Amino acid sequence: MTDREIWEKTLADLQSKISAASFKTWFSETRLTRKSDDHFEISCPNQFAKVKIEGSYLETIRQTLGREAKISLTITEKKESGKPTAGQALGPLFKTFEAGGEAKGWERSGPKHLSNLSPHYTLENFIVGSHNRLAFAMAAAVAKSPGANANNPFFLYAAVGLGKTHLVQAIGNEVIKNHPNLPVLYTTSENFTNELIESIQRRTQNSFRKKFRDVGVLIIDDVQFIAGRESTQEEFFHTFNALFLAQKQIVITSDRNPREIARLEERLTSRFGGGIMADIQNPDLDTRLAILQSKTRHLNLEIAPAILELLATRIQTNIRELEGGLKQVVNLMLSQNGQIDLATVESLLGPRATLRHGELPNPRQVIAAVASYYAVREGDLLGPRRLQSLVKPRQLAMYLVRRLCQLPLMKVGELLGGKDHTTVMHAVGKIEKALGSDERLKQDIFNIQKRLEVFA
């Protein structure tokens, strides 16, 4: 068999064992070269793929190549400049700046229409993946024929930051585009409640009712907040019925399924479930990457693919946080003339994103990773000897245990062989200061974090 055939067979085998998204992300540009009988070299398109394959897939690969196979990994050298290669800084990243050098488009600062819609939220710039495909299809159908029987009401639910507001505002904007005479009104359930209370106090309930009933499309965002508020629910029930009977479109979002909203009246629960309903799940890695790419294109910025991959791999919570991470990177790039490397992004992300949701590494693992990275014995690292070769690993171990495990200084001291908390404070301060200028140190931290399998 040729190298290529061997690799194709291996890939086919892998493909059947791992998720399609992981397969595509990590193996799409890999190649195999046979160096000797039992020595194979896999070239990976970037450092992420290399780390990921090394950390997670070698055993599976050996199942095809043979248990004794010696496997080494390299990063494919790219001819074009500007592409990252092993150990290199990523070089200048901006291709063009927007006029004035300002990153625009982050804030919802567009001119407020009477409909309360922000023009930034459109169906076109809503990225569709498997996590939101159904919700998007329904939203598009609603926007096309608002008020049609089958679409009413449209109830959309998802956890925070996954695109509910974006998608329902996009419906509103699309309706305005296609049906300019159809009034659209967007409001949150909190605002609805406040206006209701105000109208009762000022005895302007008639105009309140008129405002919310004389519309073609009413969008109520975050309806869960009316739970437990009797008079709001009562008023909303009547608003709902009036609109429904007049075949006006009602669009509602919530952070959960209506059945799971405690203290929501049964008559509303059943109304909410009477039309079409969709949820949005967490986006997978490919989609997170696509979202980042789309946002950078929109900002007219060129950011190294490896940096986007890092963000997409590490920020798994929701899309708002993903955007937050990108925004941090862009701000840093702007302040550094577009020069930024992976290790800097890594330290920028910090432990918040280093870890999977809610998971902190075990301090023992952190200490072991530091010891093995600097090839010192764990006993020496924790011991009292003041050898020069131990100073940096020891300080770094304290810093990482403190940062990654988020432990108090005293506890860190205890874990590092009974050091005083002032010693820990001093060490953490030293590392933090050094991080401002010491590229080598940043790279070391990056590598150690990799060993902790933070990419898992």
- Residues forming the site for ligand ADP (CB under 6 A): 125-127, 132, 158, 160-166, 291, 319-320, 323
Half-sphere exposure of 273 (CA within 13 A, CB side): 12
Which of Mg ion, ligand ADP, none lies near 320, with the C-beta cut-off 5 to 8 A by kind?
ligand ADP
Which of Mg ion, ligand ADP, none lies near 143, with the C-beta cut-off 5 to 8 A by kind?
none
Which of Mg ion, ligand ADP, none lies near 57, with the C-beta cut-off 5 to 8 A by kind?
none
In DSSP terms, 73 is beta-bridged to 42
Closer residue to ligand ADP, CB minimum distance, 14 or 289: 289
In DSSP terms, 277 is beta-bridged to 155
* Residue with smallest beta-carbon separation from Mg ion: 165
Which of ligand ADP, Mg ion, none lies near 160, with the C-beta cut-off 5 to 8 A by kind?
ligand ADP
Least distance between ligand ADP and beta carbon 69 (Å)? 42
Least distance between Mg ion and beta carbon 161 (Å)? 8
Closer residue to ligand ADP, CB minimum distance, 92 or 161: 161
Least distance between ligand ADP and beta carbon 164 (Å)? 3
Least distance between ligand ADP and beta carbon 107 (Å)? 10
Closer residue to ligand ADP, CB minimum distance, 138 or 398: 138
Half-sphere exposure of 138 (CA within 13 A, CB side): 24
| Dihedral of alpha carbons 162, 163, 168, 174, sign | negative
* Residue with smallest beta-carbon separation from ligand ADP: 163
Closer residue to ligand ADP, CB minimum distance, 156 or 424: 156
Least distance between Mg ion and beta carbon 34 (Å)? 54
Least distance between ligand ADP and beta carbon 92 (Å)? 27
Closer residue to Mg ion, CB minimum distance, 164 or 248: 164
Which of ligand ADP, Mg ion, none lies near 144, with the C-beta cut-off 5 to 8 A by kind?
none
| Dihedral of alpha carbons 77, 83, 87, 88, sign | positive
Least distance between ligand ADP and beta carbon 217 (Å)? 18
* Tokens, residue 277: 């309903």
Which of Mg ion, ligand ADP, none lies near 166, with the C-beta cut-off 5 to 8 A by kind?
ligand ADP
Strands 39-44 and 31-36: antiparallel
Which of Mg ion, ligand ADP, none lies near 126, with the C-beta cut-off 5 to 8 A by kind?
ligand ADP
Least distance between Mg ion and beta carbon 280 (Å)? 11
Which of ligand ADP, Mg ion, none lies near 323, with the C-beta cut-off 5 to 8 A by kind?
ligand ADP
Closer residue to Mg ion, CB minimum distance, 3 or 255: 255
Closer residue to Mg ion, CB minimum distance, 164 or 271: 164
Least distance between ligand ADP and beta carbon 289 (Å)? 12
User: What residues between 133 and 192 interact with Mg ion by CB under 5 A?
Assistant: 164-165
- Binding residue count for Mg ion, defined by CB under 5 A: 2
Closer residue to Mg ion, CB minimum distance, 258 or 363: 258
Burial 261-287 (b: 16+ CB within 10 A, else e): beebbeebeebbeebbbbbbebbbbbb
Strands 154-157 and 184-188: unpaired
Which of Mg ion, ligand ADP, none lies near 191, with the C-beta cut-off 5 to 8 A by kind?
none
Closer residue to Mg ion, CB minimum distance, 70 or 320: 320
Least distance between Mg ion and beta carbon 221 (Å)? 6
Which of ligand ADP, Mg ion, none lies near 132, with the C-beta cut-off 5 to 8 A by kind?
ligand ADP
Closer residue to Mg ion, CB minimum distance, 164 or 394: 164
* Tokens, residue 81: 């400049």
Residues in contact with Mg ion by CB under 5 A are: 164-165
